[in-house]
Structure 1
Amino acid sequence: MTLIVNKTIAGEQFHLGVCYYPEQWPEHMWADDYSRMKEIGFTTVRMGEFAWNFFEPEEGVFAFDLFDRAIDLAYKHGLQVILGTPTATPPAWMTYKYPEILNASFEGKQFNHGMRRHYNYSSPVYRDYCAKITEAMAKHYANHPGIVGWQIDNEFNCEVNSFYSNADHVAFRTWLQEKYGSLDALNQAWGAVFWNQSYSDWEQVHLPRPTPGGAPNPHQTLDEKRFISDNIISFARIQSEILRKLAPKQWITTNGMFAHLDNHTMTEELLDFYSYDSYPNFATLWNDADRENPLMDRISSNHLTKVRSISPNFCIMEQQSGPGGWVNKLQQPSPKPGQMRLWTFQSVAHGADMILYFRWRTATFGTEIYWHGINDYHNQPNRRVAEAETVSRELGRIGEAIVGSRYAAEVAILHDYDNEWDGEFDVWHGPLTIESIYGWNKALQLSHIPFDYLNLKDKTRLDDLVHYKVLVYPHPTIMSDETAELLKQYAAGGGKVIFGARTGYKDKRGHCRMTPFPGPVADLCGVTVEDFTLIVDKAATPNIRWVDGGEEAGTPASLFNDILRPVNDNVETLALFDGDYYAGKPALTRNPYGTGEAYYYGAAFSREVADALIRRLGLKPATTGWSELPPQVEVAIRVKQNRRYAFLLNYSDKPVKALLLRETEDMLEGKRLAAGDLNIAPYGVKILSLDQA
């Protein structure tokens, strides 16, 4: 069982609900809407996150009458309310009077009012108005019995995740002064002596701006991402501290998971738990659809695993319920019958203890008139409503048993924000991580081996690692001496750690080390990188040849090649390069270290390489001893008080057969299942109660 101490939802009841926008519908419809929500079995509604103009129709004039009536009526119908602070959409009266709150493009062109997220986080004027609206709402609603919690803002960094207003340049400069203390230290950290970029006055320092060739200083761009994250957290802190002070009985969360934000630190410092917006059908739009045998909607399990690294039990503030799309982009097809239910239980399987569907009814106007909710425009019965009713009945039956249970895994993929942000700009390592995460995700999922993500940070301790048998740290280009020492302790104590190409050659500033690769983990891995090359021509990618032979012959060594040389007699070469000028050189090695071991692979991990390592590591499926599953089915195990609950999720549009090796209990149908074939319907879900953990 994985031990995680991050902030998490606390409760004894599973809450299912929906997002609702009373300001968008005639008031005479509210009572019928709430009544039908209760008939479905919903307990919770979210509202208010885009309604600033209703709370403050003109500067300094607060009006709560519309939402008072909406919240009171929801409470009378037995619904609890999550109230959003409306700071994701500043009103027109504000942007007109104070245009400095608007964001600007990389070229410095100011954005206009419209859409959403058109503000910047740095403007003192905007921060002041956000504090005022939060304070007014908190004072008014702190003791309302129908409000259980607050959502701060909405989807930080969605649509826009870089900021170049005048206020941002000023704030960045202040942030740098606090971080470095002097221009000499800044110049050294940024390597500003290169190309004569050194600064002699703080007023000369800015966020990245257009340059010849489009190539700003790489160390400046890394600090830019760090600044954006810290700036958002300081922006959210203003609201969090007001809510803590004025509404201490109501919990605080926020939703999203977008770029350039350290969600782990934000949650630890400001929130009670983290929330996520799950739209599995985005896989139809993005790069997964272009891959061979793509995971498609199953890739959302990877995203949910990252969410679980922030809050082991979390909220899905927006669960996809219908086809999605704005008027001009993001067109997604309708979920097929059963997929809405499948995606809901996908979220539950990975740790969600509260889920709200987006949205109650599809909007009849605005940008999202094709971002469909449970109900269509006409309010007539449809299959999405029917699926929601089915899910509600099922969660009503099993919710008390599974709420508070924790996802169980023996493998963790390590990640950190510095490498993520540095890799956005540095094409010599960023693409490797994207490829390797996909390869490991696919291999582990299809092998029925659950895994966690573990965020490495300065506060990470050995106790956070030793619960896992295997740690995969694909391409940690930036690695501190402290992290290297931590991983050595883990391996010395019996753990197995796996690295990929480009490990350890940069320090925390993003400077390349003047030591042999892989830098501070060279002795842990027992190798040095004697040569390396970027693979520019995909068709010329060399293969690897496994020393022990086997079915993995001919596996490509993708994207980048580190040519390895063992530096001690204990290092075992598992695979050799089988092409180019370094044919016959080591590509994959294993080094015993203490009672554990370290693996180094000189390329990006494909599914095939990850599969081969899984076999050599002796990792077993979570189904060992009780079931055999086809690859179309994902398995997740949640554990509570020594009881194991197995979620079986069929992502196929065809029925599949699993084999039960012993008797168990079908929780959704409330019956015992004998050993033998278990039929799982297309997009079907089975939840089994197993024996003690």
Structure 2
Amino acid sequence: MSKSELRPYHWPSHLKKQTSQLWYGCDYNPDQWPEDVWDEDIRLMNQAGVNVVALAVFSWSRIEPREGVFDFDWLDRIITKLGKANIGVNLASATASPPAWLAQSHPEILWKDERGDTVWPGARQHWRPTSPVFRTYALKLCEAMAEHYQNNPYVVAWHVGNEYGCHNRFDYSDDAMRAFQRWCKHRYGTIDVVNEAWGTSFWSQRLNDFSQILPPRYIGAGNFQNPGRLLDFERFSSDALKEFFMAERDTLAKITPDIPLTTNFMVSSQGFTLDYDDWGSQVDFVSNDHYFMPGESHLDELTYSSGLVDSIARRMPWWLMEHSTSAVNWRPVNLRKEPGQLVRDALAHLSLGADAICYFQWRQSQAGAEKFHSAMLPHAGEDSQVFRDVCELGNDMEDLSDAGLAGTVLDKSPVALVFDYESQWASEHSSVPSRNVQHSTEPLDWYRALLDLGVRADVVPVRSGWDTYPLVVLPSLYLLSRKTSERLHDYVSKGGRVIVTYLSGISDNHDRIWLGGYPGTIRDLLGIRIEEFAPMDRSIEGSMDHLDLTNGTVAHDWADVITSLADDTHVLASYQADSWTGMDGVPALTLRNWKQGKAAYLGCRLGREGLRKTLPELLEAMKVKDLQKPDESQGDHLRVERVSEDGRNRFVFLFNRTRHPVQVQVEGQVLVGSLTGIDKDGKQAILQVNGALVQRVVGHRH
């Protein structure tokens, strides 16, 4: 299945057609409550500034209580109430969880795990993406929804499905098997090409026919799956869900072509469920669900994830479909948000390109699996700090709308931090040199280390336009296709600067090792050759558990054994170790001038702190255009800019990254100051812990 062409961008219109207004709202589940609560909900929504709600996400059993019998009356009533209160409706296709009658009548729609056990109803997403029976019923529902609401003036967008693959990402049923076989035939053409791609000569796995292809079902404890098949099953699973989404989308769009469509992704530093960069081309506008990571990484991880969403959205405004006002419900310990974080987090998502801020959900549930998940209106009711913060944020959203924030875009960073879903999938399986190291463990460390030096990087997918940046970082990009390698050579030859790290360029796009020494097809560019890896493990007594570098940093978990250097490759740091390790004097950090550009290689895992210490000297040596000398004194706060199309209006967002008050400079008109104090002269501001400041600066930047 080939990657699809980019779908035209189509942003929802407000009920009163205000083009400059930001969206603010939530998931709303009125079917969980008696109707005498609805008017009270709408009164409080207006008080909070809510102007949009997502409806009917999990309402299939209420809309179609019995097969072929549709009940839209209750939904009509609440949509009319909301619309008359100037609250738009982001209407769901309602297919996320099938009703009990469907699973009872057609148990063949239920997905199976790798052991062949049926996943029974009782939660959600208990359906197979490849089930023709489920597709038939789901598309009938989509058709009925579209026909009923095609002329409703209050429906501003379609919310197709919900968090595809959150629970049914991998299905090992016979339906999935047949679909996987068809996918492989479409991708490879002949079974011989499959055998070559998967290396099936190993362990006598050679296939004679596509009918012999199986999903990676259970093969016994402690055994190892074929890596090529695993990688392709990851790709297939993303494509299978995407194909189902597109079928829903097209059914809705055929009847309601003027209503924009989206579905909520789950992009975070820990979430790699689907190839969201590929999916991003198939929605009218990108939406994301993001839930905070508690602890000291909270703000950094949030902005890292939102930066990646902005890239997936092709730097167009995107929609934050879900986040939480406070605690979630699925962690072993569900920490609440600290004072100030409700407003601060929303402003942070806005700063990274979101033009819509929404929560799960409006009213906190009284029953069900998510009754302890926070909401805009908590169990305590409107007389609560959470609801007061929700209202404060609503006022902030209105002020930012009036100031013209909507439609502006994230200012481009001089640094591109490249992320690759397929490298993550390939590096996380069981037969790798170290399970403590994956592609996902490195990009966030780089992002945070750069922030510590006052530099915000753009997080960009490998398919994106990273070669337009002055500096590119490839953090543990395990898979490197020949096409990407050629693109990298061309980038550096024309003056680009690149930093490549350990675990990069190991395999091709089939997870077949590039031979001749690592890192394969970019050895010539970097001027190095690696013969083997030196993983480290602090849990094995007597083994090498760390390596000291000559620049004062310390490597853990992974080091490369670099044995050969080109004559013009300079060693910027090497290892200092006991002779028994075989690592004393081995190069750890190198730099090579190649044609008009420069290429650096870091052969070990330094972590955030080690990178922060290493980067100033490295960046100075690389002479990166448009990147000022990093300033550690600027690392106590995060600075993000959004700019208007003509560049005359800039919105500067400042956030405190520390546990103490931080002084920052006031540059323009202060629009929002959350936990912030301004001095009498209006030139300095103090950001308290979890504080944020938003200001508008008029005029082109010098």
Deviation at 1:629, TM superposition (A): 6.2
Residue 257 (structure 2) pairs with residue 248 (structure 1): yes
- For the residues of structure 1 that align with 2:58 and 2:515, how far apart are their CA atoms? 52
Alignment partner, residue 27 of structure 2: 19
Alignment partner, residue 56 of structure 2: 48
- For the residues of structure 2 that align with 1:594 and 1:171, how far apart are their CA atoms? 47
When residues 512 and 414 of structure 1 are mapped into structure 2, their CA distance, relative to the original with a 3 A threshold, is same
Alignment partner, residue 450 of structure 1: 456
- SS of 2:258's equivalent in the other structure is coil
Alignment partner, residue 442 of structure 2: 436
Alignment partner, residue 265 of structure 1: 278
- SS of 2:158's equivalent in the other structure is strand
Deviation at 1:231, TM superposition (A): 0.4
Alignment partner, residue 339 of structure 2: 337
Residue 222 (structure 2) pairs with residue 210 (structure 1): no
When residues 623 and 475 of structure 1 are mapped into structure 2, their CA distance, relative to the original with a 3 A threshold, is closer
- SS of 1:667's equivalent in the other structure is strand
Please, which of 74, 80, 83 is the counterpart of residue 72 of structure 1?
Answer: 80
- For the residues of structure 1 that align with 2:624 and 2:55, how far apart are their CA atoms? 45
- For the residues of structure 2 that align with 1:620 and 1:631, how far apart are their CA atoms? 19
When residues 605 and 253 of structure 1 are mapped into structure 2, their CA distance, relative to the original with a 3 A threshold, is farther
- SS of 2:166's equivalent in the other structure is coil
Alignment partner, residue 189 of structure 2: 181
- SS of 2:694's equivalent in the other structure is strand
- SS of 2:31's equivalent in the other structure is helix
Alignment partner, residue 157 of structure 2: 149
When residues 335 and 476 of structure 1 are mapped into structure 2, their CA distance, relative to the original with a 3 A threshold, is closer
Please, which of 158, 161, 164 is the counterpart of residue 169 of structure 2?
Answer: 161
After superposition, give the CA deviation of every residue in 1:400-423 in whole Å (9 maximum; x if it has no partner).
421122222111111222211111
Deviation at 1:12, TM superposition (A): 2.4
- SS of 2:24's equivalent in the other structure is strand
Deviation at 1:297, TM superposition (A): 4.5
Map 1:61-460 to 2 at 5 A: 61-212=69-220, 213-257=222-266, 258-268=271-281, 270-280=282-292, 283-284=293-294, 294-311=296-313, 312=315, 313-325=317-329, 330-400=332-402, 401-408=404-411, 409-425=413-429, 426-428=431-433, 431-457=437-463, 460=464
Structure 2 residue identity aligned to 1:577 = Y
Check conservation: 1:628, 1:658, Cα contact below 8 A: no
Please, which of 567, 570, 573 is the counterpart of residue 569 of structure 1?
Answer: 567
Structure 1 residue identity aligned to 2:432 = V
Deviation at 1:346, TM superposition (A): 1.3
Check conservation: 1:47, 1:84, Cα contact below 8 A: yes
- 80-89 or 628-637: bigger deviation: 628-637
- For the residues of structure 2 that align with 1:169 and 1:466, how far apart are their CA atoms? 39
- For the residues of structure 2 that align with 1:599 and 1:566, how far apart are their CA atoms? 15
Deviation at 1:15, TM superposition (A): 1.1
When residues 183 and 5 of structure 1 are mapped into structure 2, their CA distance, relative to the original with a 3 A threshold, is closer
- For the residues of structure 2 that align with 1:5 and 1:114, how far apart are their CA atoms? 36
State TM-score, norm by structure 1. Answer: 0.90
- For the residues of structure 2 that align with 1:532 and 1:322, how far apart are their CA atoms? 43
- For the residues of structure 1 that align with 2:408 and 2:633, how far apart are their CA atoms? 23
Structure 2 residue identity aligned to 1:527 = I
- For the residues of structure 2 that align with 1:620 and 1:279, how far apart are their CA atoms? 35
When residues 189 and 620 of structure 1 are mapped into structure 2, their CA distance, relative to the original with a 3 A threshold, is closer
Map 1:618-657 to 2 at 5 A: 618=620, 631-640=635-644, 641-642=646-647, 643-652=649-658, 654=660, 656-657=661-662
After superposition, give the CA deviation of every residue in 1:498-536 in whole Å (9 maximum; x if it has no partner).
111132231121111222321111111111114432223
After superposition, give the CA deviation of every residue in 1:638-691 in whole Å (9 maximum; x if it has no partner).
12132322211125454x13142x753312269998475421123211012235
- For the residues of structure 2 that align with 1:629 and 1:359, how far apart are their CA atoms? 39
- 48-57 or 464-473: bigger deviation: 464-473
- For the residues of structure 1 that align with 2:83 and 2:10, how far apart are their CA atoms? 25
- SS of 2:230's equivalent in the other structure is helix
Deviation at 1:180, TM superposition (A): 1.9
After superposition, give the CA deviation of every residue in 1:201-241 in whole Å (9 maximum; x if it has no partner).
43332101122423111111111101001101101010111
Structure 2 residue identity aligned to 1:256 = F
- SS of 1:535's equivalent in the other structure is coil
Residue 510 (structure 2) pairs with residue 520 (structure 1): no
Deviation at 1:30, TM superposition (A): 0.9
Alignment partner, residue 557 of structure 2: 559
Alignment partner, residue 549 of structure 1: none
Gapped runs of 5+ residues in structure 1?
547-551
When residues 614 and 237 of structure 1 are mapped into structure 2, their CA distance, relative to the original with a 3 A threshold, is farther
Structure 1 residue identity aligned to 2:381 = N
Deviation at 1:72, TM superposition (A): 0.9
Check conservation: 2:308, 2:459, Cα contact below 8 A: yes
When residues 450 and 118 of structure 1 are mapped into structure 2, their CA distance, relative to the original with a 3 A threshold, is same
Alignment partner, residue 686 of structure 1: 693
Task: Provide the identity percentage.
Answer: 28
Deviation at 1:38, TM superposition (A): 1.1
- SS of 1:591's equivalent in the other structure is strand
State TM-score, norm by structure 2. Answer: 0.89
- For the residues of structure 2 that align with 1:684 and 1:111, how far apart are their CA atoms? 45
- For the residues of structure 1 that align with 2:225 and 2:87, how far apart are their CA atoms? 52
- SS of 1:302's equivalent in the other structure is helix
- SS of 1:333's equivalent in the other structure is coil
Check conservation: 1:18, 1:44, Cα contact below 8 A: yes
- SS of 2:242's equivalent in the other structure is helix
- For the residues of structure 2 that align with 1:466 and 1:178, how far apart are their CA atoms? 31
After superposition, give the CA deviation of every residue in 1:283-326 in whole Å (9 maximum; x if it has no partner).
23xxxx5xxxx413432222112211111321111121122215
Alignment partner, residue 3 of structure 2: none
After superposition, give the CA deviation of every residue in 1:340-374 in whole Å (9 maximum; x if it has no partner).
11111111111110111221111001111101212
Check conservation: 1:449, 1:622, Cα contact below 8 A: no
When residues 545 and 331 of structure 1 are mapped into structure 2, their CA distance, relative to the original with a 3 A threshold, is closer
Check conservation: 2:424, 2:438, Cα contact below 8 A: no
- SS of 1:150's equivalent in the other structure is strand
Deviation at 1:331, TM superposition (A): 3.8
- For the residues of structure 2 that align with 1:216 and 1:663, how far apart are their CA atoms? 57
- For the residues of structure 1 that align with 2:199 and 2:681, how far apart are their CA atoms? 67
When residues 428 and 399 of structure 1 are mapped into structure 2, their CA distance, relative to the original with a 3 A threshold, is farther
Alignment partner, residue 590 of structure 1: 591
- For the residues of structure 2 that align with 1:43 and 1:9, how far apart are their CA atoms? 15
- SS of 2:689's equivalent in the other structure is coil
Deviation at 1:620, TM superposition (A): 9.8
- For the residues of structure 1 that align with 2:324 and 2:308, how far apart are their CA atoms? 18
When residues 617 and 674 of structure 1 are mapped into structure 2, their CA distance, relative to the original with a 3 A threshold, is farther
- SS of 1:346's equivalent in the other structure is helix
Gapped runs of 5+ residues in structure 2?
1-5, 13-18
Deviation at 1:188, TM superposition (A): 1.9
- For the residues of structure 1 that align with 2:667 and 2:103, how far apart are their CA atoms? 64
- 417-426 or 341-350: bigger deviation: 417-426
Check conservation: 1:544, 1:587, Cα contact below 8 A: no
